[in-house]
Amino acid sequence: MSDLFRHLYDYLASDTVLVGTQTSPPTGPFSGVLTGGLWRRPIKRSSDPTVPSAGSTPGAFGGEGAEAGRIRYVATLLDEGERTHVQEFAIPTAMLYTFWVMFYAPAHDAGKAAIKNAQERIYDLLYDYRFVTDNGPLARVFYDGNSGIADSEEFIGAVSDFCRYQVVYRKREMA
């Protein structure tokens, strides 16, 4: 996992409006807009909703009663990696880092509204967000679009959307 990815995840996960805190870990809901939490890997339903299984993300799904096994309002960051920036020859060491934010929610109007609210909150947090990389140079985040809310191909009874963001930075300071 890259330092940029870790920094961005920590920044978003620390926002109390977006995520808040988790009640009854590891299966309880979060207190923010994303009641299923923000994850830095693909989400996976446990084979038994009351007991976490290897690789599962139990907080992303309901644990008891009518909510058992049903997806909550959840997002996950996916790392697409880095590549040289198109202006590398004009700006040596210029890099472009891309990541996705995948959103999931139950397939109803409240779920779609929760995805929109989470997207807007993340956009507000990342719009023109600048931070210092571990190597010293400044990095800047840019929004690169989304796909639109549609039925989830991964989870029955859910909708999903994704947003793509890019980070422009220098790999290292010039000597």
Task: Tell me the C-alpha distance between 124 and 135, whole Å.
Answer: 26
Residues of the chain with pLDDT under 70: 1, 49-50, 85-91, 172-175
Q: Measure Cα distances from 167 to 113, 136, 141, 155, 162 in Å.
A: 27, 15, 4, 30, 17
Question: How does pLDDT run across 97-137, given as a tens digit for each residue?
Answer: 899 999 999 999 999 999 999 999 999 999 999 999 887 78
CA distances from 20 to 13, 23, 31, 54, 79 (A): 8, 10, 5, 25, 23
